[in-house]
Amino acid sequence: MPEVLQKLNESTIRVPFETPRLAEIAYRVLKVDQEPRRNFVKKTLSLDQDSLVVHFEADQVKNLRTAITSFFECLLLCQDTIKQFDNAGTQPGTNSA
């Protein structure tokens, strides 16, 4: 009987940040979330200078779509938090020492 090879569905997303430091902060925050064992998606995060690179591999397109949507929700929350901390240090009357 011939071996059936199932091709994975893949996607790579590159998210640029203003500085390499901000990319590293996002990387460290988002790397903490491990995928559940029952999940059929493999997510790999890496840094490339000022960009966060995320590679997804899934058995089905719908699982890939769900994983990417979930990632973007976490990414938006991370970016909003970074902006809040950045704005807190630059508002008049605050000490950034």
Establish if 4 belongs to a structural domain.
Answer: no
What's the rounded Cα separation, in Å, for the pair 71 and 65?
10
Query: What's residue 97's pLDDT?
Result: 45
Establish if 49 belongs to a structural domain.
Answer: yes
Q: What is the domain extent for residue 41?
A: 9-90
For residues 8-33, one letter each, b for 16 or more C-beta atoms within 10 angstroms of the residue's C-beta and e for the rest, the string is ebeeeeebebeeeebbebbbeebeee
Rg (CA), the chain: 17
Structurally, the chain folds into a number of domains equal to 1
Name the pLDDT band for 51 (thresholds 50, 70, 90).
very high
pLDDT tens-place string over residues 10-45: 999 999 999 999 999 999 999 986 666 677 899 999
Percent of the chain clearing pLDDT 70 (strictly above): 77
Name the pLDDT band for 76 (thresholds 50, 70, 90).
very high
CATH number (domain holding residue 67) = 3.30.310.50
Of 20, 13, 7, 3, nearest in space to 75 by CA: 13
Establish if 3 belongs to a structural domain.
Answer: no
